[in-house]
C-alpha cells in the first residue's frame, strides 16, 4: 500500500508532522464505511520505532547500516494493507529513488512530504533539544551541520519526488486531505500504479553487468555530445533513439554534468540491477528525469 516518504533537515519537525498525518489518516480510516478503507492500517517507521540512535550519522558505515534497516522495514510494510509513513531524514536523492522503485514495483503510489522548516529554525530547535538533554532528540552540532550540508532537497519535477507536498513551519498541519487523495484516491478507490521499465528490474545474472552499464551509458553520452556539437546554439532538442527519446534541456549540457548523472545511474543500478536488455531505455529515462 502507499508510501509516504517524509524528508527534511535534522530536527525540522519530521516526527511532529508525521504524527499529525498518522492521526489524520487513522481518523479517516476509522470513519470509513468502505471495507477497502477500513481494513487499512498506518505504519509509522522512524528511528525510534527501529531502535536507532542519532549517533549513527557520525560514521559512514553505521549510517549505511541504519539506512539499510529503514529500507527493509519500509519494504516489509509496503506489501501489506498498510499506509507506510517513512519518517526519516531521507536526504539522499538516490535513497528516495530506490524507495520509489520499491513502491512502484508493487504498483502502489508514493509521495514525498518535505518538512520545509528553515535551517535557522532547525538549529534553534536542535540547540533547545540538546540543552534540555531531551530524549526527543537533538544532534551533536558537527553531525547536525554535516547533515544540513549533505541534504539533497526533494525536487517535485523528478518522478521519484512527486507528488511533492511541502509543509512550511508555520502551517498548522500537513495538507492531509490532499495527501490522502493522492495516495488513496478521493473516491476511496485504491490507487494503483503501472510498473515502468525502471521498476521492472530483476537482479542481473550477467557477469558483465557493470561493464554493460558503463558501456551503454557512455554510448548515450556520446550521442548527446555529438548532437550538441552538430547543433551549436540550438536550445534543447529531442533525440529519438531506438529505445527511447532523449529530451535535452534548453541549455547545453556539459560533459561533467552528464558524467555526474551517469555515475549516479551506475551506482544506483549496482544495487537495483537492471536487466541487460533494459539498460539503454532505463538510462534514457533516468537522464530525462535528471536533465531538467
Ligand atoms: N512546526 C512546528 N510547530 C511546533 N513545534 C514543532 C514544529 N516542528 C517541530 N516542532 C518541535 O520541535 C521538536 C523536534 O521535532 P521532531 O522530533 O518532530 O523533529 P525531527 O525532524 O523528527 O527530528 P529528527 O531529525 O531527530 O528525527 C519537537 O519538540 C517538536 O514538537
As a whole number, mean pLDDT of residues 202-210 equals: 59
Mean pLDDT of the chain: 87
Using the Cα atoms of residue 255, residue 256, residue 261 and residue 262 in order, give the sign of their dihedral: positive
* Cell numbers standing for residue 272: 537495483
Q: What is the mean pLDDT of residues 177-201?
A: 68
User: 103 C-alpha to center of ligand 1: Å?
Assistant: 27
Q: How far is the CA of 203 from the centre of ligand 1 (A)?
A: 39
Question: According to CATH, where is 3.40.50.300 located in the chain?
Answer: 3-195
Nearest atom in ligand 1 to 115's CA: 21
Ligand 1 contacts (CB < 6 A) are: 8, 10-16, 54, 125, 136-137, 169
**Cis peptide leading into 163, omega within 30 of 0?**
yes
How many H-runs (helices) and E-runs (strands) does the chain carry? Answer: 11, 7
| CA R_g for the chain | 21
- The 3-state DSSP class for residue 237 equals strand
DSSP 8-state assignment for residue 106: T
Class of domain 3-195: alpha beta
Within 10 A of 230 (CB to CB), how many other CB atoms are there? 8
Per-residue model confidence as pLDDT tens digits over 94-110: 899 889 988 988 889 99
Q: Which residue in 96, 97, 143, 100 sits closest to 122, CA to CA? A: 143
Looking at the CA of residue 139, tell me the nearest atom of ligand 1.
Answer: 26
Q: Please write the tens of the pLDDT for every residue from 210-268.
A: 888 889 999 999 999 988 888 887 767 777 777 788 888 888 889 999 999 999 888 88
Amino acid at each position: 500500500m502507499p508510501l509516504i516518504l517524509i524528508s527534511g533537515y535534522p530536527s525540522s519537525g519530521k516526527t511532529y508532522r508525521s504524527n499529525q498525518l498518522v492521526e489524520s489518516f487513522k481518523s479517516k480510516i476509522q470513519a470509513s464505511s468502505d471495507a477497502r478503507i477500513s481494513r487499512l492500517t498506518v505504519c509509522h517507521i522512524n528511528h525510534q520505532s527501529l531502535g536507532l540512535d542519532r549517533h549513527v550519522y557520525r560514521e559512514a558505515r553505521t549510517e549505511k547500516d541504519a539506512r539499510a534497516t529503514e529500507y527493509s522495514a519500509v519494504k516489509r510494510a509496503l506489501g501489506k494493507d498498510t499506509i507506510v509513513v517513512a519518517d526519516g531524514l531521507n536526504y539522499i536523492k538516490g535513497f528516495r529513488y530506490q524507495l520509489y522503485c520499491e513502491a512502484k514495483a508493487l504498483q502502489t503510489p508514493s509521495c514525498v512530504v518535505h518538512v520545509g522548516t528553515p535551517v535557522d529554525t532547525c538549529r534553534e530547535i536542535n540547540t533547545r533539544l540538546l540543552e534540555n538533554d531531551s530524549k526527543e532528540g537533538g544532534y551533536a552540532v558537527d553531525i547536525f551541520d554535516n547533515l544540513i550540508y549533505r541534504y539533497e532537497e526533494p525536487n517535485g519535477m523528478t518522478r521519484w519526488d512527486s507528488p511533492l507536498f511541502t509543509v512550511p513551519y508555520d502551517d498548522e498541519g500537513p495538507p492531509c486531505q490532499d495527501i490522502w487523495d493522492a495516495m488513496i484516491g478521493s473516491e476511496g478507490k485504491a490507487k494503483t500504479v503501472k510498473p515502468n521499465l525502471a521498476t521492472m528490474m530483476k537482479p542481473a545474472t550477467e557477469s558483465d553487468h557493470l561493464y554493460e552499464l558503463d558501456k551503454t551509458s557512455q554510448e548515450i553520452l556520446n550521442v548527446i555530445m555529438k548532437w550538441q556539437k552538430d547543433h551549436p546554439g540550438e536550445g534543447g532538442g529531442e533525440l529519438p533513439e531506438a529505445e527511447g527519446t532523449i529530451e535535452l534541456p534548453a541549455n547545453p549540457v556539459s560533459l561533467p554534468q552528464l558524467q555526474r548523472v551517469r555515475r549516479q545511474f551506475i551506482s544506483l543500478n549496482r544495487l537495483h540491477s537492471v536487466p541487460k536488455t533494459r539498460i539503454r531505455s532505463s538510462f534514457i529515462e533516468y537522464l530525462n528525469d535528471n536533465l531538467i
